Amino acid sequence: MKKKVVSLLVAAMTVASLTACGNSGSDAPAANQEPAPAEKQEADPAPAESQAEAPAESQAEAPAPAADGGTISVGFAQVGHESDWRAANTKNYQDTFSAANGYELSFVDCDNDHAVQIETVRGFIEQELDYICIAPIQSAGWDTVLQEAKDAGIPVLIVDRAVDADPSLYTTALGCDMVAEGEAAGNWLAEYLNGGDANILVIEGSVGASATLGRTEGFNNIVSQNANWKVLDSQSGDFTQAGGQEVMESFIKSYSDFNVVVCQNDNEAYGAMDAMDAAGITYGVDGDVTIISFDATHDGLQYTLDGKITCNVECNPLQAGFAEDVIKKLQAGEAVDAWTLVVDEAFVAPGITSKYAVTMSQEVLDGRAY
């Protein structure tokens, strides 16, 4: 159905969100300074780093869309199809916002193109959809189109990644704490090396994405606490296997003295392993190079179980249920949290025990839903 007018009281939410931001105390973009929810909706046990103070709520004050029981239209401007994580996230949204569940989902794969994503959101506004979900390719550049959605009275959910726009311009945000993920990787490495030197190469994710900015910031927070660690180089592999392989091949030409490779997602790690295999460089628990990865998808955790990726920090892609909870609350005219944290955990190869991570086993792998 076409949307009816929905007006949200966002002022209180805005004040609370701004107050809750800035927990890192750094000058990083606001997108990475993520407050945690009052009503935490946990997908997995919480790592210690993921806790913070609670935001206020917003309240629907007018009849919600589809209050008559009709189909609810939802637009989803997805990042693209760059990774296994993204495929799992897309499937989760398509399964959740299905016709059988009472939704009409307009799904657009924006192919990692920010301009396409902005125009996609504009199209959703023109179509007067009931709700808009945006997984932002990059954190900057959102103010104008978010203002347009707000002017049109369409609730916007910022999902997975963050934006650095004023929170009064959107209804709610949900996703993982990317800074905490980077810190978890760094804390685990400090524990693992136990005072040993680290010459580190970083294969970053897509430029300008909050997942990249947050993981980089969080990991660097721990690097700065370890005087004998050095980041030799840090380049974008665009969250793809091909990108990871290309960056690793170029690193291998320039550096011979590295002992740690940090890949900001599993697909980059697969590419980096291909490059090291071709160069005869050994890696993993029995090799010369320690690989840290992010996402903890099924295949990534298989490599962790096999001892090739030594530590894999989760980013849970099963987030659509949190978005649906928000929409259901708005439908019922209830208040919603300004921010919902999707909680992660980390995993390490068999034979390693860590206070920061779960030791991998076949049982853990068999229990994975993605």
Nearer to ligand AHR, 270 or 294 (CB): 294
Query: What is the C-alpha separation between 26 and 345, in angstroms, rounded?
Result: 24
Beta 8-9 vs 57-60: how paired, if at all? antiparallel
- Measured from the CB of residue 196, what is the shortest distance to ligand AHR in angstroms? 27
- Measured from the CB of residue 176, what is the shortest distance to ligand AHR in angstroms? 7
- Measured from the CB of residue 31, what is the shortest distance to ligand AHR in angstroms? 12
Query: What is the C-alpha separation between 92 and 202, in angstroms, rounded?
Result: 29
Among 161, 289, 292, 330, binds ligand AHR (CB under 6 A): 161
- Measured from the CB of residue 194, what is the shortest distance to ligand AHR in angstroms? 28
Are the beta carbons of 297 and 266 closer than 8 angstroms?
A: yes
Are the beta carbons of 3 and 65 closer than 8 angstroms?
A: yes
Q: Can residue 83 be called a binding residue for ligand AHR (CB under 6 A)?
A: yes
Scanning the structure block, which residue is given the tokens 């005219």? 333
Nearer to ligand AHR, 79 or 145 (CB): 79
What are the φ/ψ torsions at residue 126 (nearest 5 degrees)?
-60, -35
Q: Can residue 160 be called a binding residue for ligand AHR (CB under 6 A)?
A: yes
Strand, coil or helix: 22: coil
Are the beta carbons of 173 and 32 closer than 8 angstroms?
A: no
Q: Can residue 85 be called a binding residue for ligand AHR (CB under 6 A)?
A: yes
Among 17, 117, 265, 319, binds ligand AHR (CB under 6 A): 265
Q: Which stretch binds ligand AHR (CB under 6 A): 78-86, 241-249, 340-348, 353-361?
A: 78-86
Among 189, 211, 336, 352, binds ligand AHR (CB under 6 A): 211
Nearer to ligand AHR, 211 or 326 (CB): 211
Q: Which stretch binds ligand AHR (CB under 6 A): 42-50, 79-87, 142-150, 242-250?
A: 79-87
- Measured from the CB of residue 88, what is the shortest distance to ligand AHR in angstroms? 9
Are the beta carbons of 322 and 342 closer than 8 angstroms?
A: yes
Closest of 13, 4, 22, 149 to residue 62, by C-alpha = 4
Closest of 217, 154, 207, 140 to residue 184, by C-alpha = 217
Site string for ligand AHR, 290-329 (x = CB under 6 A): ----xx-------------------x--------------
- Measured from the CB of residue 310, what is the shortest distance to ligand AHR in angstroms? 18
What are the φ/ψ torsions at residue 14 (nearest 5 degrees)?
-60, -50
Nearer to ligand AHR, 258 or 294 (CB): 294
Give 251: exposed, middle or buried? Use CB within 10 Å, 0-12, 13-18, 19+.
buried
- Measured from the CB of residue 158, what is the shortest distance to ligand AHR in angstroms? 12
Residues in region 98-157 near ligand AHR by CB under 6 A: none
Nearer to ligand AHR, 73 or 212 (CB): 212
Residues 6 or more apart in contact with residue 105 via CB below 8 angstroms:
74, 75, 76, 93, 94, 97, 98
Beta 346-348 vs 311-314: how paired, if at all? antiparallel
Give the angle 228-233-239 at the CA atoms, nearest 5°.
120
Gyration radius of the chain over CA positions: 21
Other residues' Cβ atoms within 10 Å of the Cβ of residue 201:
23
- Measured from the CB of residue 85, what is the shortest distance to ligand AHR in angstroms? 3
Nearer to ligand AHR, 332 or 369 (CB): 369
Among 82, 130, 337, 345, binds ligand AHR (CB under 6 A): 82
Number of residues engaging ligand AHR in binding (CB under 6 A): 12
Q: Which residues of the chain form contacts with ligand AHR (CB under 6 A)?
A: 82-83, 85-86, 160-161, 211, 239, 265, 294-295, 315
